[in-house]
């Protein structure tokens, strides 16, 4: 264990001599939090979307229903457009709107004559938050209308929602949706930069030299891992704090979230180390890193949250290493930590460490 500390201290000391690097790493999550705050407001006022309404009724009841979406908070959130059914379907297929409401012909008359009537809602499967809001708002409006209509009879208006996307809603607002992905984006970039240090050590001959000492090569890699864990914990804590201050992010357990960022960051670091050790030169290693990092960051919710991705991409992204880390961080922030998640991550890190020790030593010699 002694040399693990020595090795970790060596890397932390070296890093301390590069304050610009540290500042840049701390700046990434802060910068992301500031940008998100500027875009969505400190409380996450949410993105703006389009609601398409097909008014086949063209009477008072339909107009009242349409107008309801022009009022209050909904007006800030939604641009309501009246379209034909065919156009509405076409635009929704192109993911050009959050939802489509079809008010059938005779809706108003049915309301007056207390006849059963169905209002269709078709959600954009690529989105989650806005379709949810539209669905819930429409349900409330129709409920009220139905209760008025059925004051002396059976309720007759029925909402037919065509729900395609799954409904697991993320508590904690937009910060909770956007921040984990952004945080892991910076963790991934830092992991790549830290792993690149292996090439500096390889080129200088330090790796060969350490391999010729009696110390186990695993202790050397473990030391580097420990130093990385500290860096990820600091960056994670800083990012979460920035998100809490700027975006009022709700964090159920600070220690659990920071521990998670640190442990999963170590996994990503080892992944990048393996990628780098497969390269034949430092330049190839850098190219490989970018080749791996950028698609994974994009798929893993770094740039775009899963909720805003097409369903297939979102599913795929959630099973990328960083995407999985993002999903677990969200769960942790929401207060549902899973012991098995940590156990799985620690097991993955241990396996990656074992593989790295062999691979990096072979590359060094």
By the criterion CB under 8 A, which residues form the site for other proteins? Answer: 2-3, 6-7, 10, 13-14, 17-18, 203-206, 208-215, 220, 365
CA distance 266 to 264: 5
Element holding 55 (H helix, E strand): strand 49-55
Q: Quick one: CA torsion of 330, 334, 336, 337, rounded to 10 degrees?
A: 50
CB nearer other proteins, residue 202 or residue 330: 202
Q: Give the nearest distance from C-beta 361 to other proteins in angstroms.
A: 9
CB nearer other proteins, residue 15 or residue 77: 15
What are the backbone angles phi and psi of residue 119, rounded to the nearest 5°?
-105, 125
Q: Give the nearest distance from C-beta 4 to other proteins in angstroms.
A: 11
Q: Give the nearest distance from C-beta 350 to other proteins in angstroms.
A: 22
Q: Give the nearest distance from C-beta 193 to other proteins in angstroms.
A: 15
Which tokens go with 129?
């938050």
CA distance 88 to 101: 9
Cα 284 to the chain's mean position, in Å?
29
Which among 111, 121, 215 is positioned nearest to 153, based on CA atoms? Answer: 111
Any idea which residue has 């241990």 for tokens?
A: 350
Q: Give the nearest distance from C-beta 250 to other proteins in angstroms.
A: 40
CB nearer other proteins, residue 14 or residue 144: 14
Q: Give the nearest distance from C-beta 5 to other proteins in angstroms.
A: 9
Q: Give the nearest distance from C-beta 216 to other proteins in angstroms.
A: 8
Q: Give the nearest distance from C-beta 210 to other proteins in angstroms.
A: 6
CB nearer other proteins, residue 16 or residue 315: 16
Q: Please check whether residue 261 is in contact with residue 269, taking contact to mean a CB–CB distance below 8 angstroms.
A: no
Q: Give the nearest distance from C-beta 213 to other proteins in angstroms.
A: 4
CA-to-CA dists, residue 124 to 77, 134, 136, 170, 363, angstroms: 16, 11, 15, 17, 49
Element holding 161 (H helix, E strand): strand 157-162
What are the backbone angles phi and psi of residue 281, rounded to the nearest 5°?
-150, 170
CB nearer other proteins, residue 20 or residue 151: 20
Element holding 66 (H helix, E strand): helix 60-68
**Local structure of 324: helix, strand or coil:** helix
CB nearer other proteins, residue 201 or residue 307: 201
Q: Give the nearest distance from C-beta 209 to other proteins in angstroms.
A: 4
Q: Please check whether residue 343 is in contact with residue 263, taking contact to mean a CB–CB distance below 8 angstroms.
A: no
CB nearer other proteins, residue 13 or residue 144: 13
CA distance 131 to 78: 11
CB nearer other proteins, residue 84 or residue 212: 212
CB nearer other proteins, residue 10 or residue 248: 10
CA distance 135 to 243: 29
Which tokens go with 240?
């979460």
CB nearer other proteins, residue 3 or residue 254: 3
What are the backbone angles phi and psi of residue 213, rounded to the nearest 5°?
-95, 165
């Amino acid at each position: 264990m002694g040399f693990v500390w020595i090795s970790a201290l060596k890397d932390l000391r070296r890093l301390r001599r590069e304050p610009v690097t540290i500042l840049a790493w701390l700046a990434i999550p802060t910068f992301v939090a500031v940008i998100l705050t500027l875009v969505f407001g400190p409380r996450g006022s949410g993105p703006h979307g389009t609601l398409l309404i097909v008014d086949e009724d063209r009477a008072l009841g339909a107009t009242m229903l349409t107008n309801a979406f022009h009022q209050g908070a909904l007006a800030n959130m939604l641009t309501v457009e009246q379209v034909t059914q065919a156009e509405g379907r076409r635009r929704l297929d192109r993911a050009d709107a959050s939802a489509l409401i079809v008010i059938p012909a005779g809706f108003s008359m049915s309301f007056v004559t207390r006849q059963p009537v169905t209002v269709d809602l078709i959600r954009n499967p690529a989105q989650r938050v806005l379709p949810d809001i539209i669905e819930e708002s429409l349900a409330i409006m129709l409920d009220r209308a139905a209760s008025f209509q059925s004051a002396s009879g059976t309720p007759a208006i029925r909402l037919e929602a065509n729900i395609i996307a799954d409904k697991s809603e993320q508590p904690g607002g937009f910060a909770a949706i956007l921040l984990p992905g952004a945080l892991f984006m910076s963790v991934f970039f830092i992991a790549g930069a830290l792993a690149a240090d292996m090439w500096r050590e390889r080129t200088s001959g330090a790796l060969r030299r350490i391999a010729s000492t009696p110390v186990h090569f695993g202790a050397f890699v473990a030391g580097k891992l420990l130093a990385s864990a500290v860096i990820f914990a600091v960056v994670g804590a800083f990012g979460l704090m920035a998100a809490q201050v700027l975006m009022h992010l709700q964090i159920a357990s600070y220690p659990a979230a920071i521990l998670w960022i640190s442990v999963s960051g170590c996994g990503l670091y080892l992944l990048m180390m393996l990628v780098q050790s497969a390269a034949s030169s430092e330049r190839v290693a850098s190219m490989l890193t970018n080749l791996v990092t950028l698609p994974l960051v994009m798929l893993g919710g770094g740039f775009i949250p899963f909720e805003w991705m097409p369903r297939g991409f979102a599913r795929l992204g959630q099973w990328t290493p960083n995407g999985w880390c993002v999903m677990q961080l969200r769960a942790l922030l929401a207060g549902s930590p899973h012991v098995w998640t940590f156990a799985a991550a620690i097991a993955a890190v241990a396996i990656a460490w074992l593989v790295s020790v062999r691979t990096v030593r072979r590359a060094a010699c």
